[in-house]
Amino acid sequence: MPRLEVCLSPALLHLYDTNDSVVVIIDVFRATSTIAAALYNGAKSVVPVATVEECIELGRSTENSITAGERNGRVVEGLEYGNSPSEYSRDFVAGKTLVLTTTNGTRLLHMVKGASAIITGSFLNLSAVCDFLVKSNKNVLLGCAAWKDRYNLEDSLFAGAVVSKIADKFNINCDSAIACKTLHNNLQGEAPIEFLRGSSHYRRLSAYGLESDMEYCATVDKHPVVPYLHNGKLMNYDSIK
């Protein structure tokens, strides 16, 4: 059986061999949730970029595009939209290219080398991600974007949800994976958001009134889609396979 491992922070990524593996980038609050929403609702692609400058630049040169990104809970000056999955309804986003600047998630995505596939995961597309991983039948690394390299609860809880669902199809000899699974089992059927209200990120974003946004991000399987990195763009896997 292929192996399944969890990397809890980008600062630990060098400890894992990602060659020929499927890597899942996880940034639950809120980049990979927004990506799932946008692609599920028909965005042509989502281009993750690290800086606001790149975002503006690429937005200008890309037809039918939207620029988006937040810092400290507000839309960045010079960009058009925020990093909230609920903004990206089908009416609004279908057929468009979303150029999205995020910090933690984008950085991790660009750090991964040699992977056979890079996809993104969030509670919104939990089962779709799990199905993809099982079908791929390759080694898997679940990569938590964390918060400025610090471990965070929301990404590891999601990693635990994945491990719980597909543990019987993989060889798991990774303490991080076991810990994440234990964290998820500990929910005992409670909604993820209940546990996540105690997380540092929830407290940080609550100060900007983003509680309902985080509740959205913690909703399971609302947007069944596999965001798949293809030529530097995240696309709905169904549209390219």
Where residue 17 falls (left for φ over 0; alpha for ψ -120 to 50; beta otherwise) is beta
142 binds a second copy (CB under 8 A): no
Print the binding letters for residues 6-35 with a second copy: x by CB under 8 A, - otherwise. --xx-xx--x--------------------
Q: Does 92 bind a second copy (CB under 8 A)?
A: no
Sign of the four-CA dihedral 197, 157, 36, 143: positive
Cβ burial 10-47 (10 Å sphere, 16+ → b, else e): bebbeebebeebbbbbbbbbbbbbbbbbbbbbbbbbbb
Which CB sits closer to a second copy, 135 or 148?
148
Cβ at position 168, least distance to a second copy in Å: 15
150 binds a second copy (CB under 8 A): yes
Count the neighbouring beta carbons within 10 Å of the beta carbon of residue 162: 25
Residue 9 vs 41, nearer CB to a second copy: 9
- Site map 171..210 versus a second copy, x via CB under 8 A: --xxxx-xx--xx-xx-----------xxxx-x-------
Stretch of 47-55, 120-128, 133-141, 168-176 contacting a second copy, by CB under 8 A = 168-176
* DSSP one-letter string for 193-212: HHHHTTSHHHHHHHTTT-HH
Judged by the rule CB under 8 A, the positions of this chain that interact with a second copy are 8-9, 11-12, 15, 147-153, 156, 173-176, 178-179, 182-183, 185-186, 198-201, 203
